[in-house]
A and B are shown apart, each in its own frame.
Chain A
Amino acid sequence: MSKFKKDGKKGLPAVSTSSLPDIVFMLLFFFMVTTVMREVDLKIKNDTPEATEIEKLENKALVSYIYIGEPQDAKKFGSSARIQLNDAFAEVAEVAGHIEEKRSEVNEAEIPLLTTSLKVDQKTEMGIVTDVKQELRKVQALKISYSTRERLAQ
């Protein structure tokens, strides 16, 4: 009888999966921290122009968005450019209310830091954009950002 007895069965040892939840949790936390929830459902075409001299919008909590562009459903809403605030189409006159609403949400000290991001489709004509800008001037929301995509230098 040999001293080194071989086992009869010798299957591969199962890979331990007990650390799988840890790995998944790690990924989960990464996405939870970096995630930004989609703000709105776009009802308009929103293909912003490209630019090079751009700055990053800091502190998203202090940004209100105004979308302008042709409706995606042109049969229903026509093909002239419309404004979208939150989840619905709006008229120029409603912009002021939208800004006031945002102001009431934030701390009073942060009101001067509020920025309005204009996400405008590049095919839009300037008329409607100017109207919105005039409306913003009326409510003293003077800090604006023309949202653009980054163009890589040629």
Chain B
Amino acid sequence: MAKRDIPEINAGSMADIAFLLLVFFLVTTTMDSDFGLMRKLPPLIEDQVDTPPIKDRNVFVVLANANDQLLVEGELMEVSELREAAKEFIANPSNKSNLPEKKETDVPFFGTTMVSKQVISLQNDKGTSYDLYIQVQNELAAAYNELRNELAVEQFGRSYDQLVEAGDKDRVKAVRKIYPQRISEAEPKDVGR
């Protein structure tokens, strides 16, 4: 029986088709990944429960007005100075009487440690620019992160970021317990218009 050759399919246009698809994906693709400041909003409480009042010394008040000026603990301040001020407040290294109280707490890896009862209160005006708001949030987050890093390096010989990256949840939790990020946002006021 005579062998019948199956005619070969011409694959020359394969490259063209692939190129077409390639160009389509090249055009539609966006390589940028999304970065952002992660925050958790407080749940909305319908009926006001009376919370125990927080002592003045434990609260770090940051106000931002419609002219993008900052009032920190009653003093006018630039955004660039905010980080140091917040760090000083959160850690209260020299146990000053006008900075937050500390409470003895049992923390794994650290034993009994003095943990400050700090709360940062942030209030902005309706006319505050979003840029300033983010800069303030960023500086406050940076203050916490720097303190956490210093603590982690001292205790574990590795920075907090490295611990997070390594997925060492227990140590990360312990560091967070000493410097919990407490940024409270007050309901906005409409002043200065």
B172 at the interface (CB under 8 A from A): no
* A133 partner residues in chain B, CB cutoff 8 A: 41
Give residues 113-143 of B contacting A (CB, 8 Å).
124-131, 133-135, 137-138, 141-142
Q: Which of A118, A122, A143 is within 8 Å of B40, CB to CB?
A: A143
Give residues 94-123 of A contacting B (CB, 8 Å).
115, 117-118, 120-123
B38 and A123 contact, CB distance less than 8 A: no
Given contacts A28-B21, A55-B35, contact A126 B41 (CB under 8 A): no
Interface of B is mostly: mixed
* B129 partner residues in chain A, CB cutoff 8 A: 122-126
Closest A residue by C-beta to B127: A125
Interface string of A74-91 (1 = CB under 8 A from B): 000000000000000000
For chain A, the bracket of interface size reads 35 or more
Query: How far is it, in angstroms, between the C-alpha of A99 and the C-alpha of B37 when the chains are bound?
Result: 20
Extra inter-chain contacts (14) besides given A49-B130, A123-B129, CB under 8 Å: A18-B11, A21-B11, A53-B142, A54-B37, A55-B35, A56-B34, A126-B127, A126-B129, A130-B188, A137-B41, A143-B38, A143-B40, A144-B41, A148-B36
28 contacts between A and B (CB under 8 A): A21-B18, A24-B19, A24-B22, A27-B22, A28-B21, A31-B22, A31-B29, A34-B31, A36-B29, A36-B30, A49-B130, A51-B137, A54-B37, A63-B34, A124-B129, A125-B128, A126-B124, A126-B126, A126-B133, A133-B41, A138-B44, A141-B41, A142-B42, A143-B40, A144-B40, A145-B36, A146-B134, A148-B134
